[in-house]
Amino acid sequence: MLKSIKLSDFIKIPSSPFILGALISRIMTFKENDKNYFYAYTSFRASKFVHYSQFDLVKYSKELIKKLNFYSHYDNWTEHKVEKTSVELRFYILDDVGMSKKAFYKFIYQRIVSSAWILNQSEKDMYECMRGFMELRGSVDTSLKLIAQDYFYDDSNELKKAQILTQLLNIPISYANFNARDLQPQFVNGTNKRNTQFRIKLYFYANKIGFLNDYKAKIFETAYNEHSKDIIDGITYFKVTLPNENNDVTFLKYINFFTNNIYQRQLTPQAITQLRNELKFNSDSTSSNGRNKAIIDLYDKISEDKCAICGTTQTYFSQSKGKQYFEIHHVIPYYNDNQLDNIANLVKLCPNCHRMLKKGSGTKEEQILAITKILHEHSEVYEFASSYLGIDNINELAKKIQTMLG
């Protein structure tokens, strides 16, 4: 039998931020001798920047396992494939309760969302989670100053969770971005059909989050000729300058990701320039409050002027907005929780339908019906709400949300 922890035990005891990050990043399944396992993994290859003759990966993998165990709080990491030029280590969980992969995802996500360190916004723990999320599968780009990991278009849950997680962990929009496949020039001209990548600015990562894997730290050090560093509890932090937070390119990609992949709309370059100015994304004074307002304004701009409940596109002309008047509604009501200022938690409503959703305004039945309709027709809202509340079934989810209306 593989070295593993039983899922029934894993559920009972608290998990470290690091292993939660590793699992939410990607959950794999494996079957051996009629037993089902979930696993998280790390895999990496020798880089031309640090030749394998100068860094013994076989020897180092033993040390790395100790470190991974330490940060995971389980003595569970094991060698899957360890060679001179490539390493894969795995963390197995034996599924002794017969849980689906999707349900296990939801469980991990719930555990993150409801953890004390997210609620208290503990930076140390959030960065630990991000390290598990990003570094195990991510590779150090040796020319673009990015740490990047692949996502797969047939698993949009993973991609959306990456987006949700970034907001949850307070990673500035301009430090993290998607390089969606259909935006890459190589994809458009057919030379390279890469997967979508989720990427974080490498200098932010190297400075704030730090490298657990000494080999990746060495690649960073060599490729970018940065030698000033601190090693604390086995994590290498580089004393490098943080990148500028305001970055036009990442802002463009953020908007593109939502407009193309979720709202299926195309914006002209002129429209994007106008948006950027209107939302003051170029200003240096973007506070965390400002950012939330910006997300709501952004949603107002990029989503179609159409009520998500009754479907009307005509309300009345708003002089101040210069267009038809609509209101932005938080599907899971906003209770001073920044996590809910997520673009995937917003819909546009006409004033009548919005009023109907106020507590005590519409009947319970019509409110549930309206919420069910929203969840059916907006998959990104369903995905966000079901992950946030840990409820898969649409009808149950709508009933739960109705009880939360304010």
What is the contact surface with Zn ion in residues (CB under 5 A)? 307, 309-310, 350, 353
User: What CA–CA distance (Å, rounded) separates 29 from 20?
Assistant: 16
Q: How far is the CB of 344 from Zn ion (least distance, A)?
A: 20
* Complex with Zn ion: residue 350 or 381, whichever CB lies closer: 350
Cβ proximity to Zn ion: between 172 and 362 the closer is: 362
Q: To the nearest whole angstrom, how small is the minimum distance from the Cβ of residue 366 to Zn ion?
A: 12
Nearer to Zn ion, 252 or 353 (CB): 353
Considering the complex, state which of residue 180 and residue 309 has its C-beta at the smaller distance from Zn ion.
309
Rounded CA-CA distance 406/340 in Å is: 14
**Rounded to the nearest whole angstrom, what is the least distance from the CB of residue 316 to Zn ion in the complex?**
13
Cβ(205)–Cβ(131) under 8 Å? no
Nearer to Zn ion, 23 or 309 (CB): 309
In the complex, least distance from residue 305 CB atom to Zn ion, rounded to whole angstroms:
12
What residues have CB less than 8 Å from 361, skipping those under 6 apart?
Answer: 355
Closest distance to Zn ion from the beta carbon of 383 (Å)? 23
Instruction: For residues 370 and 363, give the distance between their C-alpha atoms in angstroms, rounded to a whole number.
Output: 11
Q: Where are the alpha helices (DSSP H) in 91-195?
A: 101-113, 116-119, 123-134, 156-168, 185-188
* Nearest distance in Å: CB 246, Zn ion: 37
Alpha carbon of 241 to those of 139, 205, 237, 282, 342: distances in Å?
20, 11, 12, 20, 29
User: Who contacts 313 (Cβ-Cβ below 8 Å, separation ≥6)?
Assistant: 304, 305, 306, 307, 324
Q: Which is nearer to Zn ion, 171 or 350 (CB)?
A: 350
Classify residue 238 as exposed, middle or buried by CB count within 10 Å of its CB (0-12, 13-18, 19+).
Answer: buried
